[in-house]
Amino acid sequence: QSALTQPASVSGSPGQSIIISCTGTSNDVGGYPYVSWYQQHPGKAPKLIIYDVSKRPSGVSNRFSGSKSAYTASLTISGLQAEDEADYHCSSYTSSNTWVFGGGTKLTVL
Protein backbone atom coordinates (compact mmCIF):
# COMPACT_ATOMS: atom_id res chain seq x y z
CA GLN A 1 0.00 0.00 0.00
CA SER A 2 2.53 2.59 -1.09
CA ALA A 3 1.26 6.15 -1.30
CA LEU A 4 0.56 7.63 -4.71
CA THR A 5 3.18 10.12 -5.92
CA GLN A 6 2.30 13.80 -6.10
CA PRO A 7 4.61 16.82 -6.46
CA ALA A 8 5.18 18.47 -3.10
CA SER A 9 4.33 21.90 -4.45
CA VAL A 10 3.13 23.76 -7.52
CA SER A 11 2.52 27.43 -8.12
CA GLY A 12 0.86 29.71 -10.61
CA SER A 13 -0.31 33.26 -11.11
CA PRO A 14 -3.94 34.37 -11.02
CA GLY A 15 -5.70 33.52 -14.26
CA GLN A 16 -3.20 30.84 -15.25
CA SER A 17 -3.79 27.08 -15.37
CA ILE A 18 -1.89 24.50 -13.38
CA ILE A 19 -1.77 20.71 -13.43
CA ILE A 20 -1.15 18.45 -10.46
CA SER A 21 -0.12 14.87 -11.21
CA CYS A 22 -0.81 11.74 -9.20
CA THR A 23 1.15 8.64 -10.18
CA GLY A 24 0.44 5.12 -9.08
CA THR A 25 0.66 1.62 -10.47
CA SER A 26 -1.44 -0.94 -12.31
CA ASN A 27 -2.77 -1.98 -8.90
CA ASP A 28 -4.41 1.36 -8.21
CA VAL A 29 -4.58 4.40 -10.53
CA GLY A 30 -3.89 2.36 -13.66
CA GLY A 31 -6.33 -0.37 -12.83
CA TYR A 32 -9.51 1.40 -11.72
CA PRO A 33 -11.62 4.42 -12.71
CA TYR A 34 -11.90 5.42 -9.04
CA VAL A 35 -9.58 8.39 -8.62
CA SER A 36 -10.70 11.30 -6.47
CA TRP A 37 -9.23 14.70 -5.69
CA TYR A 38 -9.67 16.70 -2.50
CA GLN A 39 -8.99 20.34 -1.69
CA GLN A 40 -7.92 21.18 1.87
CA HIS A 41 -7.47 24.65 3.27
CA PRO A 42 -5.30 25.04 6.41
CA GLY A 43 -7.00 23.76 9.52
CA LYS A 44 -10.05 22.58 7.59
CA ALA A 45 -11.45 19.21 6.57
CA PRO A 46 -10.79 18.08 3.00
CA LYS A 47 -13.45 18.78 0.38
CA LEU A 48 -14.17 16.44 -2.53
CA ILE A 49 -13.69 18.24 -5.86
CA ILE A 50 -13.32 15.39 -8.38
CA TYR A 51 -14.44 11.74 -8.25
CA ASP A 52 -14.38 8.85 -10.70
CA VAL A 53 -11.36 10.45 -12.41
CA SER A 54 -13.22 13.35 -14.00
CA LYS A 55 -16.65 13.93 -12.42
CA ARG A 56 -17.40 17.06 -10.41
CA PRO A 57 -19.74 17.03 -7.41
CA SER A 58 -22.59 19.49 -7.51
CA GLY A 59 -21.42 22.96 -6.56
CA VAL A 60 -17.76 22.51 -7.51
CA SER A 61 -16.46 25.06 -9.99
CA ASN A 62 -15.95 23.89 -13.57
CA ARG A 63 -12.47 25.42 -13.32
CA PHE A 64 -11.53 22.08 -11.74
CA SER A 65 -11.15 19.11 -14.08
CA GLY A 66 -9.65 15.65 -13.86
CA SER A 67 -8.19 13.13 -16.26
CA LYS A 68 -6.14 9.94 -16.34
CA SER A 69 -3.61 8.36 -18.65
CA ALA A 70 -2.08 4.98 -17.85
CA TYR A 71 -0.83 5.12 -14.26
CA THR A 72 -1.08 8.90 -13.84
CA ALA A 73 -4.12 10.95 -12.91
CA SER A 74 -4.12 14.72 -13.25
CA LEU A 75 -6.02 17.62 -11.73
CA THR A 76 -6.20 20.79 -13.80
CA ILE A 77 -7.22 24.09 -12.27
CA SER A 78 -7.88 26.78 -14.84
CA GLY A 79 -8.30 30.52 -14.26
CA LEU A 80 -6.40 30.33 -10.96
CA GLN A 81 -7.87 32.39 -8.14
CA ALA A 82 -6.41 33.37 -4.78
CA GLU A 83 -8.95 31.12 -3.03
CA ASP A 84 -7.54 28.09 -4.84
CA GLU A 85 -4.42 28.27 -2.66
CA ALA A 86 -4.66 25.06 -0.64
CA ASP A 87 -3.38 21.51 -0.37
CA TYR A 88 -4.64 19.01 -2.94
CA HIS A 89 -4.78 15.27 -2.34
CA CYS A 90 -5.50 12.45 -4.78
CA SER A 91 -6.82 9.02 -3.87
CA SER A 92 -7.40 5.74 -5.70
CA TYR A 93 -9.05 2.42 -5.11
CA THR A 94 -6.59 -0.48 -5.03
CA SER A 95 -6.47 -4.15 -5.97
CA SER A 96 -6.39 -4.97 -2.24
CA ASN A 97 -9.92 -3.56 -1.86
CA THR A 98 -8.49 -0.61 0.02
CA TRP A 99 -7.93 3.06 -0.74
CA VAL A 100 -4.64 4.93 -1.00
CA PHE A 101 -3.84 8.64 -0.97
CA GLY A 102 -1.03 10.63 -2.50
CA GLY A 103 1.32 12.65 -0.32
CA GLY A 104 -0.49 15.90 -1.09
CA THR A 105 0.48 18.96 -3.14
CA LYS A 106 0.65 22.51 -1.83
CA LEU A 107 -0.65 25.00 -4.40
CA THR A 108 0.63 28.55 -4.09
CA VAL A 109 -1.10 31.33 -6.02
CA LEU A 110 1.60 33.93 -6.68
Binding-site ranges for another protein (CB under 8 A): 1, 3, 34, 36, 38, 45-48, 51-52, 57, 89, 91, 93, 96-104
CA distance 110 to 96: 40
Minimum CB distance to another protein smaller for 23 or for 36: 36
CB of 13 to another protein, least distance (A): 26
Nearest Cα residue to 80 out of 108, 52, 50? 108
Instruction: Report residue 71 CA to chain centroid gap.
Output: 14
Between 38 and 64, name the residue whose CB sits nearer to another protein.
Answer: 38
Could you tell me the smallest distance in angstroms from the CB atom of residue 91 to another protein? 6
3-state secondary structure of 82: helix
